Amino acid sequence: MLDLARRTVAAGLAPLEAARETDLGRFAGWSDAERIVGNLHRACAELGGVPRGGPIDIITALADMVAYNGGAPLTCLA
């Protein structure tokens, strides 16, 4: 995740865009794949200077997760 986040930041991509361009490989079939978007939001924010566990734009992160999920509601409770 950190390697992907570093590449995302270096390329100037948004987390949603980076997630859409990422081949999940053997993890593609796992449930709740939209979590990659939320994880990228967190990792990119922290790489950008937000303290570990500090606030991120949760509304944007969740909206991007729904968009990645094809507009379907999120089912992940993590």
Domain assignment present for residue 55? The answer is: yes
Q: What range does the domain containing 37 cover?
A: 2-68
Alpha-carbon span 8 to 43, nearest angstrom: 10
Domain assignment present for residue 76? The answer is: no
The pTM for the full model equals 0.91
Residue-wise pLDDT for 22-68, tens only, equals 999 998 888 899 999 999 999 999 999 999 999 999 999 999 999 99
Domain assignment present for residue 44? The answer is: yes
Give 37's contacts (C-beta < 8 A, 6+ positions apart): 15, 16, 19, 61, 64, 65, 68
Show the DSSP H helices in the chain as ranges: 2-11, 15-21, 35-47, 58-68
Residue-wise pLDDT for 2-35, tens only, equals 999 999 999 999 999 999 999 999 988 888 999 9
- Give the pLDDT confidence score for residue 41 in this predicted structure: 98
Amino acid occupying residue 47: L
Please determine, for residue 77, whether its predicted confidence score (pLDDT) is greater than 80: no
